[in-house]
Amino acid sequence: MLLPLLGLILGIVLGSVVNIDVPLEFAPYLSIGVLAAINSVFGGVNAELQKIFDQKLFVTGFFGNILLAIVLTFLGDKIGLPIYYAAIFYFGTSLFSNFAKIRRYYFRPKSARIVSGVLKNKKQLEKNEDVNNEYVEENLEAHQLMPYKTDHDIDGFSK
């Protein structure tokens, strides 16, 4: 989790300190590239919180998303069609979805995190001796009725 977050903080600090003028014709490419990069960082943080972070997947996704977004923008410019709107829509939606998942992870009650763990991987939870399995089983039904257990977050984005 620290690697993507550290990269984001380092990038923000360097971007604030170093004064680089970007020509106006490259502004759309830079903006869509930055949006894709931020989306990848939020996706990496979300993956780490779910304990499924893979560094190779993160790095290839980071640069692949940036490259794909810039190529879409370039092709759209060449044919006179704003194709980059598709990239803006996708990365924007994904960014808010990842942010909602991160927010839910940190701001839901601890018992809900435990129940979420039960629903995702019961075998892993059974090996964890720190968790009171009786409490989880008793409260499983109540927690399934909470808004974060639906197929969509309260913001309207899919989990």
Extents of the domains making up the chain: 23-107, 108-150
Residues 82-105: what's their mean pLDDT?
Answer: 91
Quote the tokens at residue 100. Answer: 């909602």
Q: Where does the pLDDT of residue 2 fall: very low under 50, low under 70, confident under 90, or very high at 90 and above?
A: confident
Alpha-carbon distances of 144 from 51, 60, 116, 139, 152, rounded to whole Å:
21, 35, 9, 9, 13
Residue 13 has pLDDT above 50, yes or no: yes
pLDDT, tens only, 45-92? 899 888 898 999 999 999 999 999 999 999 999 999 988 898 899 999
92-97 LR contacts (CB < 8 Å, sep 24+) = 92/35, 93/157, 94/39, 94/43, 95/35, 95/38, 95/39, 95/42, 96/155, 96/157, 97/153, 97/155, 97/157, 97/158, 97/159
Residues 110-128: what's their mean pLDDT?
Answer: 55
Average pLDDT, the chain: 77
* 152 vs 107 pLDDT, higher one: 107
* 144 vs 53 pLDDT, higher one: 53
Quote the tokens at residue 130. Answer: 């720190």
